Structure 1
């Protein structure tokens, strides 16, 4: 169960979500991740949000999964020397501080590449390492606003809205992992040695949003938030509630599937209406389509809707709560919710599913400095040196949060 990335060592100087998630995603497939935290100031995700029965933050349990933890004051001279030893044997370094933090600590990319020319450096920041907004502080919600996501979420006559999860930070983590793998491939191919992956938090969402920009620049169409319907309303669908109170999302992505959907909710008369012959024509009459779907769904129970939609091979999906997710038969069959022996807290398992080299959950987030001793021993430090470093406040050991 070493995983396809077992030869990959990542040094994580990140905190909160975006940078650490990039490392966590790769750790699922075997990457050896060493998370570095200051001995007297650990990652806030350890304490943010609800706690499990053992007192450990559940968010930390999953963001810290499969990672070794090293308590190290890397801004001190001695700590910087230890960090150098780590970097010299690493493949990747992940950081998501404000631009300039590493440079002020004398460990910017030029220094890091002096220590290890092959090092891939993922730098995550609010607005990127350059540009007029470089030094502006930002969090995920600011990125969701800048990407256009908030503008397109909500009702037409209501305020813009944020989604129900940290979309900007999470998609940045995913894009960061992609950037790391692309840079490593370039290194392997001899195209480039170590390089810097410069990723602004708003950019991942901006890339995934994608279509509003060509819609505006190519078709002179500016999407607007549209409540329970698609912002551009190019295909029938939306969110509807059955007569027994169950929310469903209904969708069709082609002319053929749209016809099946219309036949399910309105019979042949609706499906064969010339106004709905193509998606292009249908888009001009989407309010009629939406109202027809709404009338049908609201007047029937979930079982009745599912039966009629199945008969016409149309798509209506029940909106699952977290409780529903944890008991869903398909999710259970796919093995998408997992844990480790002796740990009641469950997390989402490795994604995607690989046929020959699947990912694995080895452990959940460990205590601060839990692996400091073993990591330093690997670097050549003996017990006496480790004790001295601990007493000087340079390192944290075995779950402690010490100060010099």
Structure 2
């Protein structure tokens, strides 16, 4: 599967990166004098390259190309004619103004699937409003439900909206591929608004409001609507744990672990519905239990009752965690200090493969153009005319 990536930053490029883990041939296109900002954003590795780019650019070939006019547009057409997918996440209208909107792209290749990522979608009253991931987190309700009741709304500690959009984009692509292979549709457009991807996962507040007249509110270390026991607690030796129960049976085991038979058999907690009316009592009992014991003591007691308490891992602990290492979820490339998260999910017959970290700009320009039938003289002429960049590609 060949993917042409015109995307930048996180949302669109992550969709292509996820598919590249499982063998997709991704060609990332950047303008000769304007590369993806992820190359520079955030901390740098020992070679001066942004570590975020190293993982978002993983497994991708890089082509430095001015695709908006002239001979650069001709090269884009040749690429599209042989591609399965095109990914873009510009503001709505950018492709159309450059003369390469969906109508033109489908004229070049009727089977092309186009993933279009934008802040608020390709239509509607907010179509042209600029947006970043945090705006989407606000619009989806995520920020409103995160934090303490008497404090401000909060964003999570990672780009939740952009990352979720990357996942949803890959899902949308594969649904469209399935429809194409079944003869249901040829090339189609996947119109993905960043706020919608979190809204879909944050959906329970809507039926809670419309169906049960309940309005979830942020609740600090507890869930916005604690329908089952749970929360975040700190042990006597300073370790944070998250405690949770998923149903009536697991809730009873949790209560027995923290309060013995007296708490578990209390008639106020006979069902989850009744328990939800007294969740402050349950939370306080769990907090008292955890706060008065060390991590080892809490884990031992919870294990004895088959209840769930999970340690909150720091990044350093993630990097050395035995289960994560056993699963092969942190991978490296020979000669690179930077490690990244490996392919997920784990497939039994066609597992993903990690091949290389993000390449320099234009690292594959020459080889890609040769594959399109351009000889070295024409490539040099294109470079001199400003349509193509060859930086980093001479080794090819």
Given the two structures, how large is their TM-score scaled by the length of structure 1? 0.97
Question: Whole-Å Cα distance in 2 between the matches of residues 129 and 345 of structure 1?
Answer: 37
Question: Whole-Å Cα distance in 2 between the matches of residues 313 and 209 of structure 1?
Answer: 29
Query: Which among 56, 70, 74 is matched to residue 77 of structure 1?
Result: 70
Query: Which among 280, 303, 306 is matched to residue 299 of structure 2?
Result: 306
- 1:103 is displaced (CA, Å) by 0.3
Q: Is the 8 A contact 1:371 1:398 kept in 2?
A: no
Give the corresponding residue for 1:155.
148
Give the corresponding residue for 2:159.
166
Equivalent residue pairs, number: 393
Query: Pairwise CA RMSD of aligned residues?
Result: 0.6
The answer to whether structure 1 residue 216 and structure 2 residue 209 are counterparts is yes
Question: Whole-Å Cα distance in 1 between the matches of residues 70 and 143 of structure 2?
Answer: 44
Give the corresponding residue for 2:286.
293
Question: Whole-Å Cα distance in 1 between the matches of residues 70 and 148 of structure 2?
Answer: 54
The answer to whether structure 1 residue 196 and structure 2 residue 196 are counterparts is no
Query: Which among 310, 327, 352 is matched to residue 345 of structure 2?
Result: 352
Given the two structures, how large is their TM-score scaled by the length of structure 2? 0.99
Query: Which among 6, 31, 52 is matched to residue 59 of structure 1?
Result: 52
- Please list every run of at least 4 consecutive aligned residues from structure 1 whose deviation after the TM superposition is greater than 3 angstroms: none
- 1:343 is displaced (CA, Å) by 1.2
Query: Which among 95, 109, 123 is matched to residue 102 of structure 1?
Result: 95
The answer to whether structure 1 residue 86 and structure 2 residue 79 are counterparts is yes
- 1:398 is displaced (CA, Å) by 3.2
Question: Whole-Å Cα distance in 1 between the matches of residues 250 and 172 of structure 2?
Answer: 36
Alignment deviations for residues 147-201 of structure 1 (CA, whole Å, 9 cap, x no partner): 0000000000100000000000000000000000000100000000000000000
Query: Which among 55, 63, 68 is matched to residue 61 of structure 2?
Result: 68
Question: Whole-Å Cα distance in 2 between the matches of residues 31 and 235 of structure 1?
Answer: 42
Alignment deviations for residues 13-53 of structure 1 (CA, whole Å, 9 cap, x no partner): 00000000000000000000000000000000000000000
- 1:77 is displaced (CA, Å) by 1.1
List gaps (5 residues or longer) in structure 2. none
List gaps (5 residues or longer) in structure 1. 1-7
Give the corresponding residue for 1:176.
169
Alignment deviations for residues 237-262 of structure 1 (CA, whole Å, 9 cap, x no partner): 00000000000000001110000100
Question: Whole-Å Cα distance in 2 between the matches of residues 70 and 144 of structure 1?
Answer: 32
SS of the counterpart of 1:243? coil
Question: Whole-Å Cα distance in 1 between the matches of residues 328 and 274 of structure 2?
Answer: 42
Question: Whole-Å Cα distance in 1 between the matches of residues 207 and 109 of structure 2?
Answer: 41
SS of the counterpart of 1:294? helix
Question: Whole-Å Cα distance in 2 between the matches of residues 307 and 371 of structure 1?
Answer: 55
- 1:341 is displaced (CA, Å) by 1.4
- 1:218 is displaced (CA, Å) by 0.9
Give the corresponding residue for 2:239.
246
SS of the counterpart of 1:52? coil
Q: Is the 8 A contact 1:306 1:316 kept in 2?
A: yes
Question: Whole-Å Cα distance in 2 between the matches of residues 187 and 299 of structure 1?
Answer: 59
